[in-house]
Copies of this chain bind each other. A is one copy, B any other.
Amino acid sequence: MSIEIHPVHGIPEVEPGDDLAMLIIAGLASSGVSLLDRDVVVVTHKVVSKAEGRIEPVADDRAYRELAEREARSILRRRGDLMIAQTAHGFICANAGVDRSNVADGYAILLPIDSDRSAHRLRMQLQQATGAEIAVIVTDTFGRPWRRGLVDVAIGVSGLPATIDLRGQPDAHGRTMNVTEIAIVDEIAAAADLAMGKADAIPVAVVRGLDLTGEGRATDLVRPPEEDMFR
């Protein structure tokens, strides 16, 4: 089946306390996109965090570093201003997800406290308002060891499995595949970013054409320490 990814335009600057679901619904209307069953609404966490008030003033670089350290459950590496840390959710990323881009000068954006829950709440609100049975993914932009460049990944999921497990299913040769557990929500997050564009401030996109349902969470993607060879 073909996949379509539609950017949602017209979402204004989000402020703490804003009703993000209503802003998205207005954006969908002005973008000419009506939600359908099985659509995946992909939302960058920046607007989720802003609506939830997860913004803090950071007077200077030192205050920013201290805030990032406060958000870190553990620190894996440091180099210069960059700290690779595990967040309370379990995600491993730069500066524990605390970011000073796309926010007013003198402020930093933190990750939602429970980004899976944020995704779920937004999904319930969007479903109630539109009647469509959808899924929601909240994303952030992560670096990777070994590969240059950032990619969007899922940090909050509702209405989808986090992975599709093809282990034990025969491949095209009838051979049982050993390990083919696809991180489908990360692939959807990356796909949605293609329609967003970083500097254009399009924080929401709709991915259409997948036929997935489930009740996974982004934290399902956190590799348990005993499986992880690179901490």
Contacts and interface: CB of A to CB of B under 8 A. Distances in A.
Interface string A95-129: 00000111111000000000000000000000000
Contacts of A210: 194
Given A2-B5, A2-B7, A195-B3, A181 B223 contact: no
A104 B230 CA distance: 33
Interface stretch (A16-24, A51-59, A65-73, A184-192): A184-192
Interface residues of A, number: 72
A102 B172 contact: yes
A4 B7 contact: no
Interface string A37-79: 0000000000000000000000000000000000000000101
Given A92-B145, A144-B144, A177-B199, 10 more contacts: A2-B5, A3-B194, A5-B209, A102-B177, A103-B175, A105-B173, A148-B223, A149-B221, A151-B182, A151-B187
28 contacts: A1-B7, A1-B195, A3-B191, A3-B194, A4-B4, A5-B209, A79-B229, A84-B229, A92-B145, A102-B175, A105-B175, A144-B144, A146-B222, A146-B231, A147-B186, A147-B223, A148-B181, A151-B183, A152-B187, A164-B198, A166-B198, A170-B199, A171-B198, A171-B201, A172-B201, A177-B198, A187-B193, A191-B191
